[in-house]
């Protein structure tokens, strides 16, 4: 049996690179974005009754997986990146059909000449992610008080995050364009985006991309307090290098 899925739109996201995206939705409430719908799905009639809904289920495609092959066993970050579980016991993107499911906060319903788009926050979606469907989150049905998962019973631990004076000044300048930038950086880095199989290296600078910005940080260690993260730079992404003309 052949099944064809047609995207109804795409995500416009603050996350322009996979590295650093929260491993689950809701971990970075300051993460903003939009769902922009394609014709004919941007018809305002399709959104009647969505007013007052606080959260949405978003069904989407993992469109930038490194490999098109699914894996029966994967390495969840929660297990340190070295132990494996069956893919159906995890939320790994390396799935048979590369389908994803996230809960996002609905911030607003916008309408213009092109139709309807949705402002969202608290998401974990890469820029350009194809959206297959949206559905309203129903608190009485979707929130189960006694639900259990033995390997993820509580949220992951969080690291402290600080800014150097230079990074603080750079952040203040760039918050004129991105008002919640500092809050978003803290929410992302305190989750420790480093691959869990790697030990923190205080001599190395790490980086993530948000919008058109490069965020640079390093790991610091102080006594028994353990590791913490220091943001050392917030820079505009350099424009792409134009291709060199061939000699003739």
The domain locations on the chain are 9-63+98-142, 161-236
Domain 161-236 matching CATH 1.10.287: the answer reads no
* Residue 180: how many other CB atoms lie within 10 Å: 15
Q: Which fold has domain 9-63+98-142?
A: Elongation Factor Tu (Ef-tu); domain 3 (2.40.30)
Q: What is the pTM of this model?
A: 0.88
Please give the pLDDT value at position 112.
Answer: 87
Instruction: Answer with the residue of higher pLDDT: 171 or 227.
Output: 171
Can the peptide bond before residue 40 be classed as cis, meaning omega within 30 degrees of 0?
yes
Position 245 confidence tier, pLDDT thresholds 50, 70, 90 = low
Position 248 confidence tier, pLDDT thresholds 50, 70, 90 = very low
Mean pLDDT value across residues 75-88: 80
* Residue 6: how many other CB atoms lie within 10 Å: 8
Contacts 24+ apart (CB under 8 A), 141-149: 142/57, 142/103
User: For 32-70, how does the pLDDT look when each residue is reduced to its tens digit (9 = 90+)?
Assistant: 999 999 999 999 999 999 999 999 999 999 988 766 678
């Amino acid at each position: 049996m052949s099944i064809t899925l047609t995207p109804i739109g795409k995500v416009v996201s603050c996350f322009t690179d996979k590295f650093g995206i929260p491993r689950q939705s809701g971990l970075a409430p300051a993460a903003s974005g939009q769902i922009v719908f394609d014709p004919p799905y941007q018809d305002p009639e399709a959104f009647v009754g969505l007013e007052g809904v606080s959260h949405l289920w978003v069904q989407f495609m993992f469109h930038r997986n490194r490999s098109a092959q699914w894996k029966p066993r994967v390495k969840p970050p929660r297990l340190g990146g070295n132990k494996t579980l069956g893919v159906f016991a995890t939320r790994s993107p390396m799935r048979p059909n590369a389908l994803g499911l996230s809960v996002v906060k609905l911030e607003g319903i916008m309408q213009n000449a092109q139709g309807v788009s949705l402002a969202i926050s608290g998401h974990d979606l890469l820029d350009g992610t194809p959206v297959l469907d949206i559905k309203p989150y129903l608190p009485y049905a979707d929130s189960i008080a006694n639900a259990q998962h033995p390997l993820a019973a509580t949220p992951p631990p969080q690291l402290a995050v600080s800014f150097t004076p230079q990074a603080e000044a750079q952040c203040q300048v760039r918050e004129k364009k991105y008002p919640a930038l500092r809050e978003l950086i803290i929410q992302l880095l305190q989750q420790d985006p480093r691959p869990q199989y790697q030990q923190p290296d205080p001599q190395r600078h790490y980086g993530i991309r948000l919008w058109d910005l490069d965020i640079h940080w390093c790991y610091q260690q102080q006594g028994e307090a353990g590791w913490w993260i220091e943001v050392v730079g917030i820079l505009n992404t350099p424009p792409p290098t134009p291709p060199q003309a061939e000699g003739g």
